[in-house]
Structure 1
Amino acid sequence: NLTSLGMIFSGTSGAGTFTFTPVSGTAVTSGSVTINAGAATRLVVTGSATQTAGASNSITITAKDASGNTVTTYTGSKNLTFSGATSSTAPVTTPKVTNTAAADIAFGSTTALTFASGTVTTNMKLYNVESAVVAVTDGSISAAGADRLTVAVSASTMTKLAVSLTSPQTNGTAFTGTNTLTAQDAYGNTVTGFNASTNNVTVTNSLGGTVSGLGSGGTNVLNQAGDFTSGVANLTTDGFIYTGTSGAGTFTFTPVSGTAVTSSSVTINAGAATRLVVTGSATQTAGASNSITITAKDASGNTVSTYTG
């Protein structure tokens, strides 16, 4: 009585036969026996292993038994929760999965998907450049280990710039500290392939002075392929210089294609004293006093307040 003995088959489901072979005597093979999948024990996520930030990735979730057979009885609407991908930073945009009602639902929230014969296909959108390992659970069974989908997310096309300038700086002298300009996509990911020779970036300022030391010829334009390395321009290394009226002001970086960015306020201090300026009354009577002022100024005419003592 094979039932009482507890005969069990584990493996690929389908129709097959069983052969019983004695040590002595003739073997016998059964008629065809259909083996159905067992109970669903895990979910498996499949789809493209690469995608661009913000683009759709068609993914399939399949319910499987312990032997890897698709459980066709796993059907109807299931409340799934996705995880394993992070939000982009600028702006913060959470990864999403499209539910049965065609609405995009954020990772970490319940996403209702309707299964047929153990599978469902939908769209997933990831926004942060990373190697995401996408998992899913229905609260009882999950995708874990190799059942998850690993996706390499790459930046989309460049749409904007991000700038960081150190304050204060000195008039007529190359900027010091960390001063960077970064090419970004719509979600704040660095566009590593950005090329300033095909998308020039012009720098202007609110102080009325001039910017130099950049690009070809030391102008106020970043226009060389080497100005950006992996999507980031090191303005300190490039030799960014402001010359003009000292004070607090901002710098605006405008690409030919894409959105311009304006820095936070940067204080420009006077440069080194290069001359003395004498002022006073242009007329006086012989032997009378004339009040005069001597002022130390830099090459741009800014008063050098550090010239003291």
Structure 2
Amino acid sequence: MKTRVPSIVSVFRPLALLSLLLAMSGCTVYQSIGKSVGSYLHPVSGHDFVHIANEKWDHRNALLYFYRPHSQWAADEIEAPSVYIDDTHYFNIRNDSYTWLEVSPGERHIAMRRPLLGLEGLNSFSLSLIADATLKVEPGQIYYLRYNELSEPARRHPELAPDDPLAQGALQLVTRDYAMQAEEIVSTRFLNSDLLAPNHAATSIVETTEDIDYERQLTRLEEERELEIERLKEAGKYESASWFWPFGGGPTVPLETDREIRKLEREYARLERERERQEEAESGGGWWIF
């Protein structure tokens, strides 16, 4: 009698369907189904480490390098941990590998989660949250983030406080000098994207991070606006709506937060126009069917 062994596709298909149903219900699902294969099953085969050329990224932005030095633990891994920037999944980092992302300046939230058959968490719950940190990045700067669950860097980053999340644990920010040592990033291979382990790294995510920053600032200003209105009510500078005309009423003085919101919206509109001009320039200003 033959025994039928379930294929990888048959195992992951119901998990992917479950993830889709949860996402449709409004839940935030953290998952890397079909992307989490580890080095034991699929070793990294990219080229040896090399910095990307200076002309390949805009120095008004920042560059993040992620790397994972070789260890037997990581080499025997069935599933590799996921890396998220600003709550968006970009790649799963396997043994002896590196990759990079170009991001806009500002505060970037970095998280790592360990999957179980690709599933990682739901809303605020995570099966295994490896790292949860915020890194403030500056224009033109390059940052090196080292992941190793067995050994921490021999030297802490001098610009980080001892209690900073990126100065302790498995994921740490290290200096360029430290990363350039033997057995560090220089000994790793590029985390290429392929059919068995696709990823969305080694690219610019500047537009995405700019949009996230806009949404964050707008949300913050809207919350501050509510607080400002409460202060004006207490100070007697707010008129309530009449019972017969519910659309009236409001503050009797201009709101500072309204001014800041209008400024933010103008800046974002200018940014969108700049993107459109750049897209037109890159496309040659149009297309020609002949």
- Bucket of the pairwise TM-score, normalised by the shorter protein: under 0.3
* Structure with greater helix percent: 2
Which one scores higher on RCO, CA 8 angstroms, separation ≥ 6? 2
Q: Which structure's residues are more often strand, by fraction?
A: 1
With the length of structure 1 as denominator, give the TM-score of the two structures.
0.19
Scaled by the length of structure 2, the TM-score of the pair is 0.20
